[in-house]
Structure 1
């Protein structure tokens, strides 16, 4: 890879400086802390710990002797130490919590629990990206998940930690294979091109979520989609905010059309140097096995199928042994449960993390390092490793006018997975298939009668990923009302992967040799990006009017390089790792692209009497992905809020303690189409003609397309009852996306499959979101809190002129969601012939794809949400999160429509047609050799019968945590926890998983984790 060595050296130097500086800071400020922050008197010493309602330590809480300036703050684990006299009163306080006053008397140990001050919502800071606001004063739609919730889940990807927690955010895991990613939709799918990826911002730096993996190298294991978000360790995250409506996202302009995900990592904490060690071990298993046929049932169905196809006499002829080995040469009494054999293993994940934090009131630091190793449920020793280093330094000058914040993250991933996912073989291999190994331990080919699924383990797939991200945020208070802000960020993402295909891993009957078959494919890719954002913030008050103005600009550049090579033909397999030894070398892909982005943005916020709030945001974006004259787009929004419970007409003793009506309207856009789509592009073929390198056209020019536009409208009502012990937020939204950027299909005679352009089509997403939080029981020893959210989305293709005459006629229907599937309507099995029949919509006597696929099924969720409960008794806490979803999905018939093929299937396939007059759901058994039956079975796979209800209620997450009391020293604490993920699912869906109906890719695993966290 180009500059790989230099980039690694550069990353190493950066981290050497960070670590050196941080440890120097540790020595200097750990000394100063003890002098500056603990005020010594000649009184008795009091020690203790400050926690919240969930028994989570509160770091940075203030402990002050009442009516004095003497005090201290809690350390990283919530512990403190202070000297006071017996008649002193200690005041315990923290931002967002109710203060407590405790008379010392003769007590030397005081453990304090602070209750969240939900009546002071205005003090709870919410990260809105370019600015901070509060829960009470925000005018936009922002959902948030804290570190306390994220840390309770044994997940590798930040998106896995917010599943079920946020209304309007639908997240589905792609695969149970380590390193895989997630699909996310924020308030539905806005664009026809299928892109639903939001903008990810990590500590102020845009984070590319698109993998640079190559699908042909991974051959179906889904590692081509190794998510770059895996580089962000969930244990390093302080909070995740999701911005949804126009008011919250318009300041991000074209980048916020699908929403914005803000990830904030942990920062240094003021106090004495603290050490935290987190050790955990997890076990993962496939949560559900299909009820497949045993050997007698399978063989009965197979023989019947061969006879039905007219080959009954050939079954007695040994000359046809090779056609039906399962019926003739394989052991007729053997039974292997291939699900347990191929995907029934235990995936083990071990995690070790050490963090060091501390500093003075002026400078704080944090260094965190982690190592993780995870195996798979497949046979063999495939594994995924991750090394991560997270560091942060905060500094504020003595006069508090200058602030400096630097965060850096470095992650190295090593992913060595099987080249092929064995899930399909686990579900479809005949139950009497041969043994995997011979008696002497070699791969068993059973006289070349089958393809041994474990042979692919001899092949090799390895991906090595390096990710470096750094951010510096500077601010200077130039005048009392004027602040200058600078945000600088850098991100380098590299992936080097290769795939080996060996002749020795193929059935010997094919006669493959290293010279003719063995190959190596390599992918060397990198993505380099930087961002600079100067900003000016101005605040002013005139009596009851407060004005906040933010003006800034963005300069961003991203460079992507990719080189994919394929070498074929080697003298022997021992030389296959040396691509120079290949007899045929081909350049599969060679790409170098540059993306430049520039923007100017602004925000003006007005507050009148602290109860009327008006927020204006605007942005002008410029993108290099559009042609001349179309590179700039304007986006903006207006948001308003009315805190009506502050009005004089509201009684002070009302059960309604908090009420806010808010709304917003605005536009965002999208340029997510890839680079150079407006130009004619060419690919390097890897071949030469008369010594000249041959190029081939890869894209056709269209300089006329422009920005996609998403218009967003929202109205919301937020209420609090009984001193805010019950909080409920209800929102209705409407998003309309137009000027759709898609690949418009072209005729084959043009030499191109599609042309990038704008479609005059409009997609509308509407929906309701409800978010409920209650504090049910709050007493000294026992606490019970509940969270509930539900989303009810609706989608519609509002307009698409002349769709009937376009190539999209077979996919979309005006007035229907864009998530629909147009299918045949199966009317059942003909009782006389045993063949599937379908509704002939145009009555022409022939079932054809375009005219008769008119049955519509919507596969988007009807509603979804989550229900969480937290129970705390003294030092013991239990957290439960149930996720639910109402939806439809493809079932087993999508994979296999006819009984009798040479592959196993559900026992339900025994209910097939056998003789005239039978009324059955499945057709006549066929071995696949009666080709006249193929059209019927293929159409059945694309019919309404291949869709069924896939609704579910799932125990998504459960955590049991116990803090071990340490009487000897309050400075040392141990938390022991037991975590579970995907533990239990209630569903009627007959498939691998209701959210993952594919029989080809490994479904998400059930995870159980045991761990301990040591704080000292």
Structure 2
């Protein structure tokens, strides 16, 4: 038998070794298969195995760098430590390329080891790929407005909700935290409020699956403690997110049709990467405290004002009557020398949050995986043992066939949240409780009611609020390349969100003087709600390129169904408070609400993208939607957009030496719509009232049949200029936009005699949002040991009601004015305090000699921001990195006069009210004190609704600081990072209220947080 050349045996052994021991380097194995080149090796052509390491300019290994032989398709990918191995001819060239780094071509020149350093590519516009939902597009070639934030930025913020991670970072996106209570929600608006009625939330897409952001909490169960509701987005762990993109203009959003009237937020979770199996452990602990306390009166100031108010009302004699002491216990029976800082007692605690996360990832060139799990436990600043726990599991697996034609990706996220809070928010009591109020507990540790003279705030700890939620989000993306330029794919997703809340109110939480017992008072209200949604979206994508012209065509369909169930039950009359959590022990059960909704949605959509000479781009998108929320003949709507871009920096006039490295003009126009009005609104609907008549359950009418109303429409126009200077080390993007929302779906009030409160229909009303957005990014310094980068964003929004037929004769006449924003409030015009009478004065607009709401609420204030934005700097020196981000807003808000304008009432007030009128001739800003017990003229309620209760609430806030140190290690495969992070650390403002961004004295403001963390990867 003829012997094979010795090189053939070596090649066989080489293949067996890598197939058995390095399956994750499949691409390299395939590249090493005996092809024509390797056969030539056996016949004398000299070829060798080349090894090496790829690092950055600081010597750090780079994983995932593509190494390709220039003369063939053979390639390899660097491992975790930056190493690679590849077969190449001695006279060949190797091409090294990686996202964010300059591509280098290196001649082999007979070498067997090649170590190189890749320089960071500042000009990254071609490489930065943005998620546009149904397709991806480079930063350079996008025709729409897509704002993005990456994991690198989000990981530097100690937050538990994805919206908190992008607060202040993106232009055109205004986010406000509704409460500092763990598990609370956030309000988000993308380019303002578009519709008179309905929610302003954008469409949220998580890994291709629509995700409902609206809370399913029932107001009767938890409105007092959780504020704006429990945010379903809390179920998404920010550390599991790879990027968040916000689609804003018509070009970016029209492909989502009616679901995108308020913008689109795309959340992409992390995926596995090829290479050695990698473990990441992340541990952190946070401390949180209220950042600002109100300056309230002390005991002596408070009692002085109280006695003065009683005297001013002519009740001084009654104050001396012992039989009437129960009217003013704060003066007569409580210790007049006692002082308690109730802010410190009730909201002055320290909230602790501990977080632990472990993930494992890796895979081969064909199959990659990632599995992560995390657990978070958080307490509150309130007294008691309230706590919030959250457990997350996230997994992702991706696979492609050897020829790359078949791909599948499957991701799943599951979260379990358990929130245990007191029955009420202590914040309102902390701001208003008398400074000399009694001690909360007596000597034996029981609630102290001080002879039934006060409502003990600690009684709220007897009430219990609990919320348990379970969230599942799963998505599968399957694709197959029928031809090299034709791909068939389908996205399939399912979400399940279940929320169970309860609020227990035992009789022991009420003053004993009321004579309440478990039998006649104690009650338990439960809310069991669930939202299920599935979606299937088959798509066909065709691409082709001819010399200087390319065409990209996408066609797809959407099939979606969502069901919602909610049942609210109240049990009353328990044998004792120990059985209050058992509804079976209740004497009576009452169904307060029983909702069962179904929503079906279907669509056909498409995109055509044409590109000429890599500089002239036309993008056409369209969608035809069908919704079950409209009646026959109105169920379908058509939406579309056109986007244009001219990359003028590619013109020959701009050479390589030009300071202008990038320049683009783009514009877009199109329409999106909205069906966000709730289910069954075109039908006659009824609800169970919970009451009975002669033993028969009563149905109450809630909606009247109207099949004529249809889609709301939002027409969007945008023009933008994008510039890059100094090889894109300075990037400036400026956008002007104008959105006009028409055919408004509004509830038309009906006479009570009809039995219905309103008729849902389309109003001929137009709301306009326009504005200017500026985004700036710069690399100020970039050297081997020192880097400094800056990012800045600014939004100047404007909102106005352009038209509203019949506004003057409608019930909205007292709320809106044509030509003014939807965010205005109508107020009295305060003229100060009359120096002779000591009473607040107001402008009598209608001249009838009387101040009333019918004709004198004519002063207009707009409470929407005039402008807002953020400024961030990132500085790296060796292994130390410092990131500092400031958020700013120019705005007005209600001040403390909104909640208390007359001194002397029972209950503490800000010390500003101590500067009151005392005698004729005084020119003080606060009217004379009053006890509140008489009909003596008191204009304080008018002052609370006047322009005096609105003041400047602009601020500059140190939103986030992150100091990270990378610990030097001897093992290149081990990374250790220690960091210190701060959130809401400092606020510069003239505003005197609780928080300038959330001026509400009954809800806990956002907390100042400090986090210490450790991250280990190996």
Q: Aligning the two structures, in what range does the TM-score lie when normalised by the shorter sequence?
A: over 0.9
Q: Which residue of 1 aligns with 2:921?
A: 917
Counterpart for residue 721 of structure 1: 725
| SS at 1:319 equivalent | helix
| Pair 189,415 (structure 1): closer, same or farther in 2 beyond 3 Å | same
Q: Report what 1:1009 is aligned to.
A: 1011
C-alpha contact (below 8 Å) 1:657/1:721 kept by paired residues? yes
Matches within 5 A, 1:848-927: 848-927=852-931
> For the Cα contact (< 8 Å) 2:50–2:112, is it kept in 1?
no
SS in 1 for 2:422: coil
C-alpha deviations, 1:433-467, integer Å up to 9, x for none? 11111111111111111111011111111111000
By how many angstroms is 1:103 displaced?
11
Corresponding position: 1:626 with 2:620: no
Corresponding residue of 2:647: 643
Could you tell me which residue of structure 2 aligns to residue 176 of structure 1? 180
Instruction: Spell out, residue by residue over 1:210-262, the C-alpha distance to the aligned partner (whole angstroms, 9 max, x if none).
Output: 11111111141126711000111000000000000000000000000000000
In the TM superposition, residue 419 of structure 1 has moved relative to its aligned partner by 1.2
Structure 1 residue 695 displacement after superposition: 2.2
Alpha carbons of structure 1 residues 100 and 933: separation in structure 2 relative to 1, 3 Å: farther
Asked if the contact 1:96–1:121 (Cα under 8 Å) also holds between the matched residues in 2, the reply is no
Shift in Å at residue 973 of structure 1?
A: 1.1
Q: When the two structures are superposed, what TM-score results if normalisation uses the length of structure 2?
A: 0.93
**What does residue 965 of structure 2 align with?**
962
Partner of 2:23: 32
- Equivalent positions of 1:552-563 (< 5 A) are 552-563=556-567
Residue pair 2:422, 2:464 contacting (<8 A) in 1 also: yes
Please say if 1:993 is aligned against 2:998. Answer: no
Distance 1:723 1:506 in 2: 70
Rate the CA distance shift 1:29–1:995 in 2: closer, same or farther, 3 A. Answer: farther
Q: Please say if residues 887 and 957 of structure 2, whose CA atoms lie closer than 8 Å, have aligned partners that are also in contact.
A: yes
Q: Which moved more, 1:185-194 or 1:761-770?
A: 185-194
Partner of 1:835: 839
SS at match of 1:398: coil
Q: 1:946 aligns with which of 924, 938, 949?
A: 949
Query: What is the CA–CA distance in structure 2 between the aligned matches of 1:723 and 1:548, rounded to whole Å?
Result: 29
CA deviations 1:481-530 (Å, max 9, x no partner) are: 22111010000000111110000111111110000000011111111110
Alignment of 1:417-428 (within 5 A): 417-428=421-432
Number of aligned residue pairs: 982
Any conservation in 2 of the 1:214–1:224 contact (CA below 8 Å)? no
Q: How does 1:596-995 map to 2 (within 5 A)?
A: 596-686=600-690, 693-934=697-938, 936-967=939-970, 969-995=971-997
The 1:965/1:979 distance shift into structure 2, 3 A limit, reads same
After superposition, give the CA deviation of every residue in 1:824-877 in whole Å (9 maximum; x if it has no partner): 101111111111111111111111213111100011111111111000111110
Distance 2:586 2:347 in 1: 35
Structure 1 CA distance for aligned equivalents of residues 599 and 295 of structure 2 = 51
The C-alpha deviation readout for 1:581-629, integer Å capped at 9, x for no partner, is: 1111100001111000011111111111111100111111111111111
Deviating more after overlay: 360-369 vs 748-757: 748-757
Tell me if the contact between 1:533 and 1:554 (Cα under 8 Å) persists in the aligned partners. Answer: yes
Counterpart of 2:255 in 1: which secondary structure? helix
Q: 1:29 to 1:854 in 2, by over 3 A?
A: farther
**CA distance, structure 1, for counterparts of residue 208 and residue 105 of structure 2:** 39
Q: Residue by residue, what CA displacement relative to the aligned partner does 1:178-219 show, whole Å, maximum 9, x if unpaired?
A: 001111111111111152100000000000001111111114
For residues 264 and 425 of structure 2, the distance between their equivalents in structure 1, rounded to whole angstroms, comes to 33
CA distance in 2 between counterparts of 1:244 and 1:58 reads 35
Matches of 2:548 and 2:49, distance apart in 1: 47
Instruction: Tell me the equivalent position of 1:240.
Output: 244
The answer to whether the Cα contact below 8 Å between 2:57 and 2:784 also exists between their aligned partners in 1 is: no
Q: Distance in 2 between matches of 1:231 and 1:728?
A: 35
After TM superposition, the structure 1 stretch with the greater mean CA deviation from structure 2, 93-102 or 649-658, is 93-102
The one of 332, 351, 354 aligned to 1:350:
354
Structure 1 residue 465 and structure 2 residue 456: aligned? Answer: no
Following TM superposition, by how much is the alpha carbon of 1:265 offset from its aligned partner in structure 2, in angstroms? 0.2
Do the aligned partners of 1:684 and 1:696 also contact (CA within 8 Å) in 2?
yes
> Match for residue 545 of structure 1?
549
Listed as ranges, the matches of 1:23-102 within 5 Å are 31-33=22-24, 59-62=63-66, 73-74=77-78, 79-82=81-84, 93-99=97-103
Shift of 1:60: 2.2
Q: Is the 8 A contact 1:798 1:814 kept in 2?
A: yes
Local SS of the residue matching 2:497: strand
- CA drift of 1:121 comes to 1.4
Cα offset, 1:46, TM superposition = 6.4
Change (3 A) 1:690 1:299: closer
What is the CA distance between 1:124 and its match in structure 2?
1.7
CA–CA distance in structure 2, aligned partners of residues 866 and 110 of structure 1: 41
SS in 1 for 2:201: coil
| Alpha-carbon distance, 1:957 to partner | 0.6
CA distance, structure 2, for counterparts of residue 751 and residue 156 of structure 1: 45
Match of 2:3 in 1: none
The Cα offsets for residues 634-669 of structure 1, whole Å up to 9 and x where unpaired, read as 100000000111112334321111100000000001
Name the CA distance, whole Å, in 2 between partners of 1:543 and 1:101: 25
Aligned to 1:259: 263
Which residue does 1:298 correspond to in 2? 302
Q: Structure 1: how far apart are the matches of 2:536 and 2:70?
A: 46
* Alpha carbons of structure 1 residues 958 and 100: separation in structure 2 relative to 1, 3 Å: farther
- What secondary structure sits across from 1:539 in the alignment? strand
> Counterpart of 1:919 in 2: which secondary structure?
coil
Q: 2-side partners of 1:804 and 1:696: how far apart?
A: 30
For the 8 Å contact 2:901–2:913, the answer to whether it is kept is no
Work out the CA distance in 2 between the residues paired with 1:896 and 1:521. Answer: 32
- Give 5+ residue unaligned stretches, structure 1: 1-26
Equivalent residue, structure 1, for 2:9? none
Deviation, 1:94, is 1.1
Contact 2:25 2:365 in 1 (8 A): no
- Residue segments in structure 2 that go unaligned for 5+ positions in a row: 1-17, 33-46
Structure 1 CA distance, aligned partners of 2:506 and 2:754? 38
Q: For 2:229 and 2:968, locate their aligned partners in 1 and report how far apart those are by CA, in whole Å.
A: 45
SS at match of 1:216: helix
Match for residue 125 of structure 1? Answer: 129
- Aligned partner of residue 322 in structure 1, secondary structure: helix
Contact 1:52 1:58 in 2 (8 A): no
- Give the deviation of 1:92 after TM superposition: 5.3
Q: Is the 8 A contact 1:30 1:358 kept in 2?
A: no
CA distance in 2: counterparts of 1:908 and 1:705, whole angstroms: 51
Shift of 1:83: 6.9
Say if 2:58 and 2:784, in contact at 8 Å, map to a contact too.
no
Shift of 1:755: 2.1
Aligned mates of 1:292, 1:566 — CA distance in 2: 39
Q: Cα gap change, 1:448/1:28 in structure 2, threshold over 3 Å: closer, same or farther? A: farther
Relative to structure 1, the CA distance from residue 179 to residue 759 in structure 2 (aligned partners, 3 Å threshold; closer, same or farther) is same
Separation of aligned partners in 2, 1:809 and 1:336:
46
Q: Is the 8 A contact 2:76 2:85 kept in 1?
A: no
Stretch of structure 1 that moved more, 848-857 or 65-74: 65-74
Deviations 1:709-738 (A, max 9, x none): 000000000001111111100110000011
Q: Secondary structure at the match of 1:770?
A: strand
CA–CA separation in structure 2 for the residues paired with 1:209 and 1:895 = 31
Tell me by how many angstroms 1:64 deviates. 7.0
| Kept after mapping to 1: 8 A contact 2:27/2:76 | no
Question: What corresponds to 1:323 in structure 2?
Answer: 327
